[in-house]
Amino acid sequence: MNEVLRQEKKYAVNAADGVKLRGRLSAVMHGDQHNGAQGYVIRSLYFDTPDNEDFSGKLDGLELRRKIRLRVYDPRSDFAMLEMKQKEGPYQRKRSLRLSREDAVRLCRGDYRPLQTYEDPFAAECYGLMHCRCYRPKTVVEYRRQAYVARENHIRITLDSRIAATESNFDVFAERLPMYYVMDPFRLVLEVKYNGFLLSYIKDALDTVERPELSVSKYCLARGVSLGRPA
């Protein structure tokens, strides 16, 4: 299991400011090794209870809340990451566990028994929670990300674009999925993640663009479409 505890801030930026921000960040930070010219694709399957407790908890602004997801970076990959994100005051705690492709496929179908075969206590925790609370696959969210990192304070800044989702197919390994946009494709989500405090030269780079803060998650954007509730 891997674990990260940090502060996370989310903002909305338009496409033009996104281009400007990429130039500023690339001058003062290291680009993620997977960036490439157009970034890289992330696809996540989110789980929730029958009455959508995690979705409602986010909308209601609960101080203690969670999200459970299965994440892949390439449909041809032989593994997926099972992740749990928990909001704890100003911090986000993220724990993750690498699963084989075969086991991940079973989770996509709502079968969580493969988690019982892993020795990591996090797997047992996820199995107990997802089984007892009747978690089920709810939506797949896909987007393109460009990321920038600084070793100091474990700073990581990401720009996410072309955010789309589907609730008709939960196979994260499918080559193609019937996706629809859940956010204007000319807007991006800027995420700023750090421990302790944000370095001044990075803050100065961010201050060059308008960036109203967002309280919504990509999961809520996706579910808000089908549930008819504002995200």
Least Cα distance to 22 among 192, 156, 159 occurs for 159
Residue 24 is classified by DSSP as: H
pLDDT of residue 226: 83
The reply to whether 77 falls in a domain is: yes
Which of helix, strand or coil describes residue 40? strand
For residue 168, which phi and psi values (nearest 5 degrees)?
A: -105, -10
pLDDT of residue 37: 77
Indicate which CATH number applies to the domain containing 53: 3.20.100.30
Domain that holds residue 114: 2-226
CA distances from 185 to 36, 106, 164 (A): 20, 32, 9
For residue 140, which phi and psi values (nearest 5 degrees)?
A: -110, 130
Q: What is the pTM of this model?
A: 0.94
- The C-alpha angle with vertex 48 and arms to 47 and 49, in degrees rounded to 5, equals 140
Which of helix, strand or coil describes residue 91? strand
Q: How many domains does the chain have?
A: 1
Taken in order 192, 193, 196, 199, is the CA torsion positive or negative?
negative
Least Cα distance to 136 among 218, 204, 47 occurs for 47
Q: What is the mean pLDDT of the chain?
A: 93
CA 177 to chain centre: 18
Comparing 57-61, 78-82, 123-127, 140-144, which segment has the lowest mean pLDDT? Answer: 57-61
The reply to whether 13 falls in a domain is: yes
Q: Each residue of 191-229: pLDDT tens digit? A: 999 998 899 999 999 999 999 998 879 999 999 888 876
CA distance 111 to 116: 11
Q: Each residue of 77-120: pLDDT tens digit? A: 999 999 999 988 888 999 999 999 999 999 999 999 999 999 99
The reply to whether 184 falls in a domain is: yes
Residue 22 near residue 139 (C-beta atoms within 8 A): no
Least Cα distance to 136 among 73, 45, 24 occurs for 45
The reply to whether 142 falls in a domain is: yes
DSSP lists the bridge partners of residue 54 as none
Least Cα distance to 96 among 74, 113, 120, 64 occurs for 120
The token pair at 207 is 């201050």
The reply to whether 67 falls in a domain is: yes
The reply to whether 45 falls in a domain is: yes
The reply to whether 231 falls in a domain is: no
DSSP lists the bridge partners of residue 205 as none
CA distance 62 to 191: 20
CA 159 to chain centre: 12
Which of helix, strand or coil describes residue 180? strand
The reply to whether 102 falls in a domain is: yes
